Amino acid sequence: MGMTPAAVSERFALYRDPHPTRVASFAEDVRAGFRERPYTLSPRYFYDDLGSALFEAICRLPEYYLTRIESDLLATYGSQIAAAFDETLEIVELGSGSALKTRILIDAILARQAQLTYHPIDISPDALIESSHALLGAHAAVRIVAYASDYFTLLRERRLHTQDRVLALFLGSNVGNFEPAQARELFTLLASALEPGDGLLVGYDLKKEPSVLELAYDDPTGVTAAFNKNLLGRINRELGGNFDLDAFSFFARYHDDIGAVRSYLRADRPQTVTIPAAGITVELAAGETIHTESSYKFSQEEMTERLAGCGFGERRTFVDAGGRYALGLFVAT
Q: Which residues bind ligand AVJ (CB under 6 A)?
A: 58, 66, 172-174, 176-177, 217, 224, 293, 295
Cβ-based nearer residue to ligand AVJ, 122 or 198: 122
Cβ-based nearer residue to ligand AVJ, 117 or 263: 263
Question: What minimum distance in Å lies between the beta carbon of 168 and ligand AVJ?
Answer: 17
Cβ-based nearer residue to ligand AVJ, 61 or 247: 61
Chain mean position to CA 52: 12
Cβ-based nearer residue to ligand AVJ, 79 or 174: 174
Question: What minimum distance in Å lies between the beta carbon of 70 and ligand AVJ?
Answer: 10
CB half-sphere exposure, 39, CA atoms < 13 A? 17
CA distance 113 to 115: 6
Question: What minimum distance in Å lies between the beta carbon of 322 and ligand AVJ?
Answer: 17
Cβ-based nearer residue to ligand AVJ, 27 or 231: 231
